[in-house]
A = this chain, B = another copy of it.
Amino acid sequence: MSFKLLILGSNSSLPAYGRHHTSQWLTIGRSHFMIDCGEGTQYQLLKYKTPVAKLNRVFISHLHGDHYLGLMGIIYSLHLSGRTSELTIYGPRGLDEIITTQLKYSGSTINYPLTFVEVSAESKTLIYENEELTVHAFPLLHRIPCTGFLFAEKPKPRRIKGALIPKDFPIENFEKLKKGEDITDADGKVIFANKHLTLPPKHARSYAFCSDTGWFPTISEYFHSIDLIYHETTFLEEKEKWARQTFHSTTKDAGLIAKQVKAKQLLIGHFSARYKSIEPFVEETKQYFKNSMAAEEGKIFTIKD
């Protein structure tokens, strides 16, 4: 099953140097999620040939323009493209009103069901799950209510060694083996030991998106041992004071958080328009967390199972 993240934009509020506002496209198996949706995201989707018709759910972290202003355009474009399946939007209080006010004045009735799920920024909350994965929202520390999102595969079944299974093996036994149970007879005697017929489950992968936030070590209470964490780095260390005042983070902040949550990889973004090159961001962050990468537009980050 695929688990990959496409970066559509990672600049902070003032666009600069051809960099676009925050948006990411996360594919986990059959699920296609959009995380944040800055202005121009629909153009980025076209540029990177994203299968936009497959979009299931949109997660908006907060209501600063650089994180949601592209959403209205995508809602219209999906409508014009003949979409009929439901689109669910998770976001803070107000997003529903912003969208419905605009729909009202546009005179448009959207062809497909549009569902809003209000996400509270008060505590870690399960906001969506299916057979394969869960999505939690968790609070961040910003000037207005802002949540991060944790996408995690559910624990996976043990893997059955097909070649060792007898031909007449009852189908219900497969489920037992996947769960790690032995196969017993009516008297409870083990006929097939699970450990002989199965391999350990594959790793359940996880990705945490930490949108705009000040220095906020509480994040480590929400998840740990994560495969990939995205954490904003609006500023280099030199601007730590300014980062504190504006509730944003520096390279050092992101690196320390990644270390604290025992992340395997750190992805940094939300770069301020004051910086032409983002190379210094990666260099600085690596001083605190070695496995750091920049969320550059068009790049795809894959988590292997």
Measured CB to CB, the residues of A under 8 A from B are 13-16, 20, 39-40, 42-43, 46, 63-66, 69-70, 72-73, 76-77, 80-81, 92-95, 97-98, 101-102, 104-108, 143-144
Contacts and interface: CB of A to CB of B under 8 A. Distances in A.
A59 B106 CA distance: 17
A217 to B, nearest CB: 24
Q: Oligomeric state, in number of copies?
A: 2
Nearest to A12: B80
Contacts of A43: 15, 20, 39-40
A73 B64 CA distance: 10
A96 to B, nearest CB: 10
Contacts of A66: 73, 76
Contact of A63 (B13, B94, B106): B106
The winner among A14, A40, A144 for most chain B CB atoms within 10 A is A40
Contacts of A64: 106, 108
Contacts of A98: 98, 101-102, 105
Contacts of A97: 101, 105
Contacts of A77: 13-15
A267 to B, nearest CB: 23
Nearest to A47: B18
Contact of A65 (B13, B20, B76, B104): B76
